[in-house]
Chain A
Amino acid sequence: MKKIISLGLFLGILVGLSTVALTVVNSITAPVIARAQDELFYHQLDVAFPDATRFVHMETDTPHTIEIVRALAGDTLLGYVYVQEIVGFADVVRYMLVMDNDGYIRDFLTLLNSETIGFADPVRLYSWAEGQFINAPGDTSIDILAGATVTTTPIIRAIRYAYDDFESRR
């Protein structure tokens, strides 16, 4: 019994030390990561709408949609950016869908891709988007990407939700 308790205590102390080390490193890296992600997001917004003078974040209950941003030049609406997230074959894919004021999809930018490498890497996803729905109306018919069916099926569904949301705001 004594032996078991001492072994348990040893493991407990080790886990405690490990937690302290992780907490310290996380407190250093988390703000850096958050700042880098914000910078990337706003850089992508600037690329998507270079003429915009301000971006307004909006509340949303659209499925798969984390955030909707309205791009404005003065009081003129230029379009919307939908930040959507889906779970594919292995893990999360987060992307920005840029839609202009006429309901045309103007860009598709991957922000996070935790899928298995080779199945739906950002380059493949972008060339799939470019070949089918970039510069096309939001309700255009989209084929899945061969070899990444499980990833692209929910993306297509999420794009439909984004377009429905856009239509409801028009």
Chain B
Amino acid sequence: MDNHKQPNVNLKEVFFVNIIRENPVFVMLLSLCPILGVSSNFVNAISIGAMTGLVILLTNIVVSLLSRIIPNEVRIPVLITIIATSVTLMEMLVHAYIPAMHFALGIFLPLIVVNCVVFGRAEAFAIRNKLIPSIVDALGVSAGILLALGLMGFIRELLGTGAIDLFGLYFRLFPEHFAIPLFIMPAGAFIVLGMIIGIIFSVKMMKQEKQDGLLKNKSVTKA
């Protein structure tokens, strides 16, 4: 696979493009399983986001280092083996040293193995790039996922309970009887995700229309 290596990559661009413009969750609509399943509260959402980020980082590093010797014909099973190993290692470590997080995340921790973002970054980026760009890409994607999960968890917990638990610091923002429990139920995840995606695409469309209008005006002026 070495012949696919791209020598010059803009690291700043690689990092920042994954956070907002090509956010893996809100723009590319990947990683929806944990987004819908574990974002009912802020702490759990951040925890699964951090775990997914660590798995992406570990996978990208291993895949980038091995990319010279991975035969193209078997790259898919190789990537799957690397991802499955990374996730299982992470799960064992979390179970042993952060049991509360293991207890809270439950089945969604081993399910990171089927997260499209992990496989997507390994296949689309790490296998074609050197170590440093692969690490930067993993950090950018992880930041994008953390942002998406954190935002979802924050909104859902706030609207669903009227309060926010920020790793032990508890803030009540409005009385419990004004809270809408629907937002911490699975249906609430779909509603919040849909609203956020709607806002992002509306802003994008407005920007696009503005640009099109400017171009039109320019061509009219020239004519």
Q: Do A and B bind each other?
A: yes
Interfacial residues, chain A to chain B (CB-CB below 8 A): 3, 6-7, 10-11, 14-15, 18, 21-22, 25-26, 28-30, 32-33, 36, 90-91, 112-118, 122
| B103 lies within 8 A of chain A by Cβ | yes
| Chain B residues near A26 (CB-CB < 8 A) | 92
Q: Give residues 101-125 of B contacting A (CB, 8 Å).
A: 103, 105-108
**A11 with B37, Cβ < 8 A, contacts A25-B89, A32-B96 known:** no
- Number of chain B residues whose Cβ lies closer than 8 Å to a Cβ of chain A: 29
Tally of A-B residue pairs with Cβ under 8 A?
70
| B78 lies within 8 A of chain A by Cβ | yes
Which applies to chain A's interface (DSSP): helix, strand, loop or mixed? helix
Residue of B nearest to A32 (CB): B96
Contact for B96 among A21, A29, A118, CB less than 8 A: A29
Q: Is the CB of B107 within 8 A of A90?
A: yes
Contact for B185 among A18, A22, A118, CB less than 8 A: A118
**A114 with B107, Cβ < 8 A, contacts A21-B89, A33-B95 known:** yes
Q: Is the CB of B37 within 8 A of A118?
A: yes
**A29 with B92, Cβ < 8 A, contacts A10-B74, A11-B78 known:** yes
Residue of A nearest to B92 (CB): A29
Q: Give the complex CA separation of A7 and B70 in angstroms.
A: 9
Mask: chain B, 73-107; 1 = CB below 8 Å from A; 0 = not: 11001100110110011001101110100010111
Q: Is the CB of B106 within 8 A of A25?
A: no
Q: Give the complex CA separation of A3 and B74 in angstroms.
A: 11
Q: Is the CB of B81 within 8 A of A118?
A: no
> Can you list 5 pairs linking A and B with CB atoms under 8 Å apart?
A18-B85, A116-B37, A116-B106, A117-B37, A118-B185
Q: Is the CB of B107 within 8 A of A10?
A: no
Q: Is the CB of A114 within 8 A of B71?
A: no
Q: Is the CB of B96 within 8 A of A36?
A: yes
Q: Is the CB of A21 within 8 A of B85?
A: yes
